[in-house]
Chain A
Amino acid sequence: MLKGIPVSAGIAIAPIVRLSQDQPIAHETAISSADVSSHQSRLAQSIELARQQLEQLRVQTEEQLGAEKAAILSAHLAFLDDPAFTGEMNSAIESQLLSASAAVSQVADQFISLFESMDDAYMRERADDIRDVSRRLIRNLSGEESSVSFPEEPFILIAVDVTPSETLQLPLSHVRGIATVKGGSTSHAAILARSLGIPAVMGVGEALFSQMESETLLILDGATGQLYPAPDEETRKRYEAKAEEEAIERVAYEAMKDLPAKTLDGHRVHLMANMAVPEEADALVASGVEGIGLFRSEFLFMDRSTLPDEEEQFQAYKRVALAFGDKPVIIRTLDVGGDKHLPALALEKEENPFLGFRAIRISLARPELFQVQLRALLRASAFGRLLIMFPMISHLEQLRAAKSILEQAKSQLREEGVAFDENIAVGMMMEIPAACLQADAFAKEVQFFSIGTNDLVQYTLAVDRMNGNIADLYSYYHPAVLRLISQVIEASHRAGIWTGLCGEMAGDPVATELLLGLGLDEFSGAASVMPKVKQRIRTTTIEQAKRTASHVLTLSTTEDVIAFLNNKAE
């Protein structure tokens, strides 16, 4: 069995097709001056072929997926005419006596490193476009004319990584899954796989290629990241049964997509999704979620040497606000610390980063930085329904300080005559036990709570969730964690505000009835698991859920809680 990062849920069972991306530069790098003109004309043919391929793909993409997705292909076409790109390749053949493919690689690599060093996240991603076009040129040169040819029957694609144009070319009727050597859950291909509903596992490593021949039968589980090349009879039967179950579930989920998350006796809650990058917005809107319960703003700050300015942040938040229209989007202000690589903030590496300088603690210590984010959020709030959420609040003073900086940002914008949502709701994460115990005091000063179980469990049980030696101690079913959750929800309702939960627990169907019974108002998890949660809600009653919750609160061990809930779930 192989394992990678699960990026798009679902089970796929099919023979593999390897996407060839061998870069045949090693074969012939240097050429003699007699061969210059033949290499130049091969390059010209390869460019011409690429033009035809891209033009065809552009027309096709525009018809099937719309003008916006096709626009990137117009840029690819323009690269082909760029004197600094293909023109430079042509001169490099002559001046440096490089083979056509070596010239393509050399010029492309220069642009790739140039784009990758840029501060703007959008521009950094353009390195993928250069890779895409240069790979196409090299493939054309090596004679693999039909750059990607797929069988007319079900298959799982395996590749080093998948470029945007390759993903757009996949025959949706036959591709059952995608597995790649590189990449992670925020790569372009991962986002597209999720939005097209193709099960995918990425970042598997070199073993993906070494352990598989072409046409090997592969089982891919996009929910767990597991891959079984050439599975035995028993594994295969097990997964076939699981896949069939999923197919039946999908039909059932599709049927309830537009139905409310309401119990049999009419108790209504809200199902939202978590989102990491704005590119996911369209797919999430289409999936039927009621909004975004957690949009992490970190993506704007990662892997870059300077901070995103107000304009860049504003554009990103605005895009999300517009995509969701009148559906709510909860944006959490910057939540990072010394455990994440954030060159722009130059944070010191800490001995104990989870108890250190992170999240709201950084924002309050660097108000000039915090204010930029709040101004951008406020400006974007004029274009949709945004809610602001502060992470890692433990002291009431922190909440007050954060709100006062927000008020300053508001009055600046008012003076400047810039539009924003005057009634924008402000909430806080409930992820530190101290805040949960004092929930009644906090509830008077915010409009909502969102319980972050991942950190709450870690802080309540003093268990580092990354430490494998103590992984068995980490559970959100620990009675102490459940009591904190119960207290937070009760305190919020007494103050007339609502409580949501973002974290793995929200998407765990075994926990659904318990959370419902504790009075949770909003569940926010990965979009792929929320239909299961909705089904649980729609097939129980609030009375039944309350009985479950009050019984669970009498149990005194994690084991007892899990046994009781599993028993009920079956």
Chain B
Amino acid sequence: MIQFQVTVTVEGGLHARPAALFVSRTSQSQSKITLNKGEKIADGRSILGIMTLGISQGDHLTIQVDGSDEERVAAEIQQLFQQEFAS
């Protein structure tokens, strides 16, 4: 299992559109993906689960990826937060 932290830089937080982008990337993966915001947890394949975490700009998330393609998926998610969400 890989665990890492990201900071949400996307303007307005992880609302419908970026959440849709996030799950479009994770839905192809073989691994189990979990997002943790404080004590709240969401399934990384569930757009509604992610939206109901109420993630705002500046929030810190802990993300866990567990499965056969975890390294590739973790790298993709990190890139998503660092580059695509940041622009």
- A contact set with B: CB distance below 8 Å: 71-72, 74-75, 77-79, 81-85, 111, 114-115, 118-120, 122-123, 126, 129-130, 311, 315
Contacts and interface: CB of A to CB of B under 8 A. Distances in A.
B67 interface: no
A75 to B, nearest CB: 4
Given A72-B16, A78-B20, A311 B58 contact: yes
A391 to B, nearest CB: 28
A118 B57 contact: no
A75 B17 contact: yes
A78 B19 CA distance: 9
Given A75-B20, A126-B51, A129-B16, A85 B46 contact: yes
Contacts of A315: 11-12
Interface of B: 11-13, 15-17, 19-20, 23-24, 27, 43, 45-49, 51-52, 54, 56-58
A122 B12 contact: yes
Given A78-B24, A79-B48, A83-B46, A71 B17 contact: yes
Contact of B15 (A81, A119, A123): A123
A111 B58 CA distance: 25
Contacts of A82: 23, 45-49
Nearest to A87: B46
Contacts of A311: 56-58
B59 to A, nearest CB: 11
Nearest to B15: A122
Given A75-B16, A123-B51, 6 more contacts: A78-B20, A85-B47, A120-B54, A122-B15, A126-B51, A130-B48
A84 B15 contact: no
B15 A85 contact: no
Nearest to A111: B48
Given A123-B54, A315-B11, A83 B20 contact: no
A119 B45 CA distance: 24
19 contacts: A75-B47, A77-B20, A78-B24, A78-B47, A79-B47, A81-B23, A81-B27, A82-B23, A82-B46, A82-B47, A83-B43, A84-B43, A85-B46, A114-B52, A115-B52, A123-B52, A129-B16, A311-B58, A315-B12
Contact of A74 (B12, B17, B27): B17
B42 to A, nearest CB: 8
Given A78-B23, A78-B24, A84 B16 contact: no
A127 B65 CA distance: 29
Contacts of B27: 81
B16 A111 contact: no
Contacts of A72: 16
Nearest to B49: A84
Q: Which of A75, A77, A78, A119 has its CB near the most chain B CB atoms (within 10 A)?
A: A78
Contacts of B46: 82-85
Contacts of B17: 71, 74-75
A120 B12 CA distance: 10
B48 A74 contact: no
A81 B24 CA distance: 10
Contacts of B57: 311
A130 B16 CA distance: 12
Given A74-B20, A78-B23, A129-B16, A84 B48 contact: yes
A71 B17 CA distance: 7
A59 to B, nearest CB: 16
B54 A83 contact: no
A130 B54 CA distance: 16
B69 to A, nearest CB: 18
B19, B46, B56: which has the most chain A beta carbons within 10 Å? Answer: B46
Given A122-B12, A315-B11, A85 B48 contact: yes
B52 A118 contact: yes
